Amino acid sequence: MLNIHELESKWLNYKIKSYIPHAVIIISILIIFIIVLTILEYSSYIDSNNQVPEQEKTSVIVLEKKVEPTTKELNTTQDKNLSLATISLEDIDKVIEQMYLKQEHLAQSNKLKEKKIVLSPSLEFMNSMHDNALPYYEEDKKAQVKTQKSTNTDQANKQATSKNEAPEKTKIKETVQVDSIEIKRQNTREDIQSVIKRFKKSNNPILSLFVAKKYYEIGEYNMSYNYSLITNELNNNIEASWIIFTKSLVKLNKKEMAVKTLQQYVEHSQSNQAKLLLDEITSGKFK
């Protein structure tokens, strides 16, 4: 007689043994899949950590410490590890996002701090006042006319009183006056030459500006143009130098160039004096 129970148990063992390779293959595939997934996630996390600047490194180290135990747990239990790994990676992503947001916010606030609000004065009211008032150089002319008038009247008085004197004396007086004018001119030229010598030694833009102004006053606009140009090259923030430069250009019949340079300077500096001069040049008041 056949022992049925024994046969059944043998059959069961056989069946179980036949399923073992399938089960082993499935489990090994699962393990490989989990390992690959964790390696990929970990590498992407390391890459993101490397992009974080040095300032944030301290906080990243703390995060790494938090991550390490989760990876150890992954090695011990498979099913639990999978869920824990996914949760921890999601958390890491969130934390990294938050860190980036904080970083951007900090950068923006730093930029705002660096870019201070700069208040600038508004001198538009000067334009309306300028239209009503006489320009200052005309006032100088008036003063010159007045002095000339006064000297003429003085001369006339003197002539009236000294009618009895010989005409030779008056001639001598005139020559003396002419000489005095010449002496003044020579003095300014000597001054200019001495300042030029000092400028050549020190390359100081203040000296070259002085020279440019003096040449402009004498009426040597070529030289004043040259020295104001030198001044601008040395320091392009001196308003007076740009004004002398453009005035000289106008005097040298280069009005368009003067207007262009002055417009660029006004855009750059918002200088009110330059704006006034620009208005004068464009309106034809300054010739």
The minimum distance between CB 142 and another protein, in angstroms, equals 11
Long-range contacts formed by 129-138: CB under 8 A, 24+ apart: 130/276, 130/279, 135/280, 135/285
Q: Does 107 bind another protein (CB under 8 A)?
A: no
CA 284 and chain centroid, separation: 34
| Residue 183 in tokens | 């002496």
Question: Between residues 8 and 139, which has the closer beta carbon with respect to another protein?
Answer: 139
Helix (H, G, I), strand (E, B) or coil at 165: coil
**Which amino acid makes up residue 164?**
N
Q: Candidates 11-19, 36-44, 203-211, 251-259 — which segment interacts with another protein by CB under 8 A?
A: 203-211
Q: Does 124 bind another protein (CB under 8 A)?
A: yes
Cβ pair 199, 211 in contact under 8 A: yes
Among 19, 22, 76, 125, which residue interacts with another protein (rule: CB under 8 A)? 125
Cβ pair 263, 278 in contact under 8 A: yes
Q: Does 204 bind another protein (CB under 8 A)?
A: yes
Cβ pair 63, 71 in contact under 8 A: no
Count of residues of this chain found to bind another protein when the rule CB under 8 A is applied: 27
The minimum distance between CB 255 and another protein, in angstroms, equals 22
Question: Between residues 14 and 125, which has the closer beta carbon with respect to another protein?
Answer: 125
Among 118, 160, 166, 176, which residue interacts with another protein (rule: CB under 8 A)? 118
Q: Candidates 125-133, 154-162, 163-171, 258-266 — which segment interacts with another protein by CB under 8 A?
A: 125-133
Among 1, 2, 117, 166, which residue interacts with another protein (rule: CB under 8 A)? 117
Cβ pair 216, 248 in contact under 8 A: yes
The minimum distance between CB 193 and another protein, in angstroms, equals 20
**Which amino acid makes up residue 139?**
E
Q: Does 201 bind another protein (CB under 8 A)?
A: no
Pick from 235, 251, 243: nearest CA to 272: 243
Q: Candidates 67-75, 201-209, 221-229, 253-261 — which segment interacts with another protein by CB under 8 A?
A: 201-209
Q: Does 123 bind another protein (CB under 8 A)?
A: yes
**For residues 128 and 19, what is the distance between their CA atoms, to the nearest angstrom?**
102
CA distance to 31, 66, 93, 263, 282, per residue, from 74 (Å): 11, 14, 19, 71, 81
**For residues 242 and 260, what is the distance between their CA atoms, to the nearest angstrom?**
12
Cβ pair 219, 228 in contact under 8 A: no
Q: Does 116 bind another protein (CB under 8 A)?
A: yes
Question: Between residues 174 and 239, which has the closer beta carbon with respect to another protein?
Answer: 239
| Residue 119 in tokens | 């208040």
Q: Does 31 bind another protein (CB under 8 A)?
A: no
CB within 8 A of 284, min separation 6: which ones? none
Site string for another protein, 217-246 (x = CB under 8 A): ------------------x-x---------
Which residues from 128-147 bind another protein, rule CB under 8 A? 128-130, 132-136, 139
Interaction site with another protein (CB under 8 A):
113, 116-126, 128-130, 132-136, 139, 202, 204-206, 235, 237
